[in-house]
Amino acid sequence: MKKSELQTPAILVDLDILEYNIKRYQDLCKKHNKQLWPMVKTHKSIEIVKMQQKAGATGFLCGTLDECEGICQAGIKNIMYAYPVASEASIQRVIALCKKCNFFIRLDNLDSAKLLNTAAESQGIKINYTVIINCGLNRFGVQPERVVDFANSLKQFKSLMFKGISTHPGHVYAASKHEDIPKYVEDEKGAIKTAVNALTAAGFTLELITSGATPTFFGSISDKNINIFHPGNYVFNDAIQMSTGIAKESECALSIYTTIISHPLPDRFICDAGAKCLGLDQGAHGNASLKGFGHVKKHPEITVSSLSEEVGILHINGSTSLKVGDKIEIIPNHACSSANLTSNLIGCRGENIEKIIAVDMRGNSTVKVK
Ligand SMILES: Cc1ncc(COP(=O)(O)O)c(C=O)c1O
């Protein structure tokens, strides 16, 4: 089947670019003797996990327990969950995961640790954890200067096993130009260094020193402390990555294929893809260099100026060769959100449709009603 025969809107993944991105980040890890444990939440797809594993990924970081269970069932051994848990249902899922794979949870508070410890003790199992360090995102985590106190206070929980530290420099998404990125790399490396030095001096052994985000990857890959990297968005890239020069148009694998269905004003088209494909993200932390709701491939004269649920308004800046009936491809601002808006990614190679990639670990995909 050819791309031009597809119904629109369709969420496409260019397989050549996907494979290139997976290999590029993996090769850099190999070169620097680092492990790549990609963040799964970007694609939520077992098929893409398998591609990453085949390329050399030795573990995975998950944003949901659905993802942890999905990849565990698919045979992945090293699985880290990015956040603490606090509900009974989640604790029981963590316990079950610990019995099936080499599972790691991340902790940053004593209450969650206590709940997990009680559950682990009653089941006679041990739970591996890393301590979350705040490197500037100001979401989860203990300040690097306080990590020894926190790690010491966790020693009371005999069923929890300290394995190291983790951080995520997600505040890098406030950067609006390439020259801003090194500052966030320094935050990431600096927080890790402070925590590693303090913990080592206090007698802790750190097996896992983990961090990562796509925009800081190239700057922090040579860091001597971090041994596991967790980029996620890199498999697809998107207009947010383009806005800071982390990716070029030709390195963005995911796009929304859409038909121009109306031309209501001289400077306006309407296309049949809206917020339900493109998402309304304009950068997690307010990225001033993003214009509109996506990047129209090969047509710099078109801006995606606003979105309804099922249609998008395109602004024509000057003149264009496009007309009603033409199809265009829009790189979404945030590819992770777009992937989460479909059950099927359409894998194409050039103009040929090669396969359907199931997005099979979306929220509640594993829920069972007893
Ligand atoms: C904890 C954590 N680690 C890693 C990542 C991957 O970051 P990116 O998608 O920028 O590569 C994310 C993404 O949100 C995250 O929340």
Domain boundaries along the sequence of the chain: 3-10+245-358, 15-236
Distance, CA 44 to ligand 1 centroid (Å)?
A: 13
pLDDT at 370: 72
**Pocket lining for ligand 1, CB < 6 angstroms:** 39, 42, 61, 82, 168, 170, 212-214, 230-234
The residue whose CA has the least distance to atom 7 of ligand 1 is: 213
Say if strands 327-331 and 254-265 run parallel, antiparallel, or are unpaired. Answer: antiparallel
Which token pair is 47? 């098929």
Query: CA separation (Å) from 254 to 77, 220, 306, 337?
Result: 28, 25, 20, 11
Q: What is the topology classification, in CATH, of domain 15-236?
A: TIM Barrel (3.20.20)
Q: What is the pLDDT of residue 113?
A: 98
Give the number of other Cβ atoms within 10 Å of residue 191's Cβ: 23
Name the DSSP class of 6: S
Q: Report the atom number in ligand 1 closest to the C-alpha of 231.
A: 11
Give residue 123 CA to ligand 1 midpoint distance, Å: 32
The structure tokens 């705040």 sit at 134
Which residue puts its alpha carbon closest to atom 3 of ligand 1? Answer: 168
Which residues, 6+ apart, have CB-to-CB distance to 13 below 8 Å? 236, 253, 254, 345, 346, 347, 348, 357
The preferred substitution site among 168, 208, 220, 228 for testing ligand 1, maximizing ligand atoms within 8 Å of CB, is 168
Describe the chain by its helix, strand, coil percentages, rounded to 5. Answer: 35, 25, 40
Report the residue count for the chain: 370
Residue 116 near residue 94, CB atoms below 8 Å: yes
Torsion angle of the four alpha carbons 21, 26, 27, 32, in this order, in degrees rounded to the nearest 10: 140
Low-confidence ranges of the chain (pLDDT < 70): 284-288, 365-367
Mutate to test the pocket of ligand 1, among 233, 234, 333, 338 (most ligand atoms within 8 A of CB): 233
* Separation CA 368–CA 350 (nearest Å): 40
Q: Cα torsion at 270, 271, 276, 282 (round to 10°)?
A: -70
CB 240 within 8 A of CB 333: yes
Tell me which residue has its CA closest to atom 14 in ligand 1: 170
Q: Residue 205, Cβ neighbours under 10 Å: how many?
A: 9
Separation between Cα atoms, residue 370 and residue 208, nearest integer Å: 38
Q: Locate 207 and state its tokens.
A: 């097996």
Strand partners, 218: none
Give alpha helix (H) positions in 74-146: 88-100, 110-123
pLDDT of residue 367: 65
Strands 268-271 and 35-36: unpaired
Q: What is the pLDDT of residue 264?
A: 98
Instruction: Decide: 292 and 299 in contact? Cβ < 8 Å.
Output: no
User: What pLDDT was estimated at residue 285?
Assistant: 60
Strand partners, 254: 13
- According to CATH, the topology of domain 3-10+245-358 is Lyase, Ornithine Decarboxylase; Chain A, domain 1 (2.40.37)
Query: What distance in angstroms lies between residue 132's CA and the mean position of ligand 1's atoms?
Result: 13
- Going by DSSP bridges, is the β-strand pair 254-265/228-229 parallel, antiparallel, or unpaired? unpaired
From ligand 1's centre to the CA of 130, what distance in Å?
16
CA separation, residue 359 to residues 163, 201, 230, 232 (Å): 31, 45, 20, 15
Q: Identify the pLDDT of residue 165.
A: 98
The pLDDT value given to residue 7: 96
How far, in Å, is the centroid of ligand 1 from the Cα of 208? 17
pLDDT score of 366: 64
| Residue 302 to residue 290: CA distance in whole angstroms | 14
Tell me how far apart the alpha carbons of residues 39 and 61 are, in angstroms, rounded to a whole number: 5
